[in-house]
Amino acid sequence: MADQLPQVLVLRPPPVFTLLETQFSQKFHFLRAWESPLPTADFLATHAASVKAVLCSGDTPITGDILRHLPSLQLIVTTSAGLNHINLPECRRRSISIASAGEIFSDDCADLAVGLLMDVLRKISAADRFIRAGLWPIRGEYRLGSKLGGKRVGIVGLGSIGLEVAKRLEAFGCIISYNSRRKKANISYPFYSNVCELAANSNALIICCALTDETCHMINKEVMKALGKEGVIINIGRGSIIDEKELVQCLVQGEIGGAGLDVFENEPDVPRELFTLDNVVLSPHVAVYTPESFSDLYDLMVGNLEAFFSNKPLLSPVLDE
């Protein structure tokens, strides 16, 4: 029966794959590279002629070397919205199609971004630690947090996630502006082509953009200084969009007001200097992880694979701009 199912290569199992393995296995025959005793290159060479589709997650690099071992490859289905783990130029050169998570994660990411911002401003996690440590009866009143309503929030990357963040923050009475690769048509928010100017005109920056060569370390010390001593940075994009060493230094030295971070440069390693800072809220790259998003993602991945093997249009194709 398995031999009759469409064949899909999996280098490492995405989280949703592990949770929904039984359902997946009823529809596709997966080549499980991570279970093979062979080195990856040898395993790929064994299946080079037959592999037309790959399923991967955001932490599985699809490098030029991997692609060279897969001459018959026609499709990459990734469980992430970001594409920085895929060698896009080589895929374009070979006309390999890519299907991403699309907008599946937009709501969940936006929810966490707003939650992190509110947590940092209102000191929710820090206040929780204060009570659990038994300090309330000893020290009395806790430090005041800051109001969310009326804050000027700069969104870096006004794609589907950024727009959902903006929609939520508008309901709180925040004033929205944004930076993006280009000004968005039919968007009334003020646009800043320079992220430093956006920071200088914001109380908080929320990072929602993709990681590319252009955005790597885009949030540098100059941007942080422009944001100022009361400013807050929230990152639900990728860790390397921020110069993490400079961020740590600015937080330790009080050059910015706080940070809410779901992503880091060298995950799962997080700078230990952040652990003792009450103006920093840390989250282990879980913005996209809810049971609802996993269920939707499973449906989307299966739909993309079924469409490919049936010669139908992909449900969430990545299109060159």
DSSP string, 17-64: HHHTHHHHHTT-EEEEGGG-SS-HHHHHHHHTTT--EEEE-TTS-B-H
Question: How many Å apart are CA 274 and CA 194, to the nearest integer?
Answer: 28
Q: Among 80, 64, 29, which Cα is nearest to 50's?
A: 29
pLDDT computed for residue 132 by the predictor: 97
pLDDT value of position 2: 55
Average pLDDT over residues 22-35: 88
Give the domains, in start order, of the chain with CATH numbers. Answer: 2-104+291-309 (3.40.50.720), 106-282 (3.40.50.720)
Burial of 61 (0-12, 13-18, 19+ CB in 10 A): middle
pLDDT band at 4 (very low <50, low <70, confident <90, very high): confident
Task: Calculate what percentage of the chain has a pLDDT beyond 70.
Answer: 98
Q: Are 154 and 174 in contact (CB under 8 A)?
A: no
CA-nearest of 285, 203, 273 to 240 is 285
pLDDT above 70 (res 3): no
pLDDT of residue 320: 63
pLDDT digits (tens, 9 = 90+) for 194-224: 999 999 999 999 999 999 999 999 999 999 9
The confidence score (pLDDT) of residue 21 equals 76
For the segment 148-185, what is each residue's pLDDT rounded down to a tens digit? Answer: 999 999 999 999 999 999 999 999 999 999 999 999 99
Per-residue pLDDT, 14: 85
Amino acid at 245: K
262 vs 294: which has the higher pLDDT: 262
pLDDT band (50, 70, 90) for residue 319: confident
Cβ count near 195 (within 10 Å):
23
The answer for residues whose C-beta is within 8 angstroms of residue 166's C-beta and 6 or more apart is 153, 155, 158, 176, 178, 189
Amino acid letter at 171? A
What pLDDT is attached to residue 26? 85
Taking Cα atoms as reference points, which of 119, 118, 115, 114 lies closest to residue 129? 119
Residue 59 confidence (pLDDT): 86
List, for residues 84-105, the tens digit of each pLDDT value: 999 999 999 999 999 999 999 9
What's the chain's Rg over C-alpha atoms?
22
Closest CA to 214 of 187, 236, 189, 195: 195
Exposure letters 149-181 (e unless 16+ CB within 10 A, then b): eebebbbbbbbbbbbbbbebbeeeebbbbbbbe
Averaged pLDDT of the chain: 94
pLDDT over threshold 60, residue 288:
yes
Measure the CA–CA gap between 5 and 2, rounded to whole angstroms: 5
Instruction: Show Cβ contacts of residue 150 under 8 Å, excluding neighbours closer than 6 positions.
Output: 173, 174, 175
Predicted local distance difference test score (pLDDT) of residue 245: 98
Which tens digit of pLDDT belongs to each residue from 243-261? 999 999 999 999 999 999 9
62-84, pLDDT tens digit by residue? 999 999 999 999 999 999 988 99
Instruction: Supply 257's token pair.
Output: 């007001």
Residue with the larger pLDDT of the pair 58 and 237: 237
Whole-number pLDDT of residue 82: 87
pLDDT given for residue 311 in this prediction:
97
% of the chain at pLDDT higher than 90: 89
Q: Give me the active site residues, please.
A: 238, 267, 285
How many Cα neighbours within 13 Å face the side chain of 300?
A: 22
